[in-house]
Structure 1
């Protein structure tokens, strides 16, 4: 009887570490977002940097397009005990994509617009730098539009015969004016006409995760506005460096570029 009593007491006072650092969603693959489940009272670091944990014990990590080094995750519980997990991404082979017919000033910009381009990049970086307590990041994402995928994440871009930066989004062709819907809830951090990407919206989903929507014909959202999943935020266009109506959808985890296709899954045709 005494042994049973001592066992029951131990269960009550022992820290609940079951499921600590459990990967509940995502793949060990370059470009992937991984959802973690940890203890609600714990502190979590990734390669020495603290990341936020939601009230229900959710946290996220991700792999950039070219990331090869492992993520070393340490969860420190309230009692000081630690749990560790190392995640190493599988490497991907990216295709090459050639796009011709772009205006030359959109491939090699004239000197007079360089200042604007630098300022655009600063504003985009700022809009993607929020790490708020919004919990939309932990929910299932949907596609912002339905259409034909004409450009994929990670492809090596050759523009008018000139090598340029890789493509970090998904290009979806659709008629001009097609409504673009929020793939998940969040707060609008940018709604502005930029040189390269035309009308651009950046939507903050929480914990550093954001969606960017490029080449829109216009925006139906304002900076600071809270939007719900599937709410219309803009329309498909061909503004900026574009050869026809389409949506370029991108997802960032702060400075890391992630693959929207891995996060949203297969596009439904319904």
Structure 2
């Protein structure tokens, strides 16, 4: 697996240079990308010698080693433009994002009030959504995202990213997480290191935690039985943060793990497939 990941780095680096019509010697260090250019994909890049990188005109933060991260949502369009300012030149690279076909996921037997919220719950729900948005909007200079991800819990995959959800026969928004079903009380660990930005007990998500991994990337975990860390606490990858539960809107014990790049919802399964991005020695 490690060899395949290294090969992917190499192929993507070659693809960048060939697509831009240049050769490696023309750009100090070259520019490499790793990750799948597909809907829901997370991509890590390295641009030594470059001072700025933009995706579709939006500047992307880089760390001191000139590493950066970007991603594409479930319904991302096909064509995008990545630009880099390198050695006084603007390097442009068109990116083609592959379309995916997502399954339909039917969930029946949910309490009707959790499918269609009654008016008295709407104000609470508005506050909870705002809290999640604020936690995911934090853009820190943490570099934990470059160390890669691990599964937050052992168990069976019971729900996948992108599936169109039909709840009690009513079509709803797609599912943006990776569901891992396990016995209640199964340990849940941090999928990557970072800082806890939100701990709460919400109407639909149940007990929820948001972890900031840096560079705009966050993990959100729902339906926990309990949470053993506090807001503002620094956690390491693999550290215990809680236990699998069935809180909020859930038909059985599981953890719903979500990954975001800012407001862009990423497929956690694709984040798991990324190799760690090492800094220069």
Which position in structure 1 is the counterpart of 2:79? Answer: 70
What is the Cα deviation at residue 15 of structure 1?
A: 8.4
Question: In structure 2, what is the equivalent of residue 6 of structure 1?
Answer: none
SS class of match (1:76): strand
Query: Which whole-Å deviations, capped at 9, do the CAs of 1:128-175 have from their partners, x for residues lacking one?
Result: 001111001112211001110110100000001111100000111001
Q: Which residue of 1 aligns with 2:60?
A: 51
Aligned-pair Cα RMSD in Å = 1.5
1:41 Cα deviation from its structure 2 partner: 4.9
Q: Is 1:19 paired with 2:30? A: yes
Displacement of 1:265 after TM fit? 3.1
For 2:134, what is the secondary structure of its paired residue? helix
Question: Relative to structure 1, is the Cα distance of residues 18 and 265 closer, same or farther in structure 2, using a 3 angstrom cutoff?
Answer: closer
Tell me the equivalent position of 1:10. none
Match of 2:45 in 1: 36
Counterpart residue number, 2:199: 191
- Distance across 1 between alignment mates of 2:39 and 2:210: 22
Flag structure 2 segments of 5+ consecutive residues without an equivalent.
Answer: 1-24, 275-281
Shift of 1:40: 5.1
Instruction: Give the distance between the partners of 2:232 and 2:102, measured in 1 at CA.
Output: 36
| Mapped partners of 2:263, 2:185: distance in 1 | 30
Please report the TM-score for the alignment, with normalisation by the length of structure 1: 0.89
The answer as to whether partners of 1:40 and 1:54 remain within 8 angstroms in 2 is no
Secondary structure of residue in 2 paired with 1:27: coil
Aligned match of 2:230: 222
The ranges of structure 1 where at least 4 consecutive aligned residues each deviate by more than 3 angstroms after the TM superposition are: none
1:116 and 2:127 matched: no
Equivalence for 1:128? 136
Higher Cα Rg: structure 1 or 2? 1
Superposed counterparts of 1:110-259, under 5 Å: 110-259=118-267
Q: Structure 2 CA distance, aligned partners of 1:15 and 1:222?
A: 49
Matched residue, 2:14: none
- Superposition map of 1:250-269 within 5 A: 250-265=258-273
C-alpha displacement of 1:68: 1.4
Q: Give the distance between the partners of 1:220 and 1:26, measured in 2 at CA.
A: 32
Q: Which runs of 5+ in 1 are unaligned?
A: 1-13
Whole-Å separation in 2 of the counterparts to 1:259 and 1:200: 18
Shift of 1:18: 2.7
Q: CA deviation at 1:16?
A: 5.4
Q: Give the corresponding residue for 2:108.
A: 100
Larger deviation, residues 68-77 vs 99-108: 68-77
Q: Per the alignment, in what secondary structure is the counterpart of residue 19 of structure 1?
A: coil
CA contact (8 A) 1:177 1:236 kept: yes
Rounded Cα–Cα distance in structure 1 between residues aligned with 2:88 and 2:126? 45
Q: Check whether the contact 1:188–1:222 (CA below 8 A) recurs between aligned residues.
A: yes
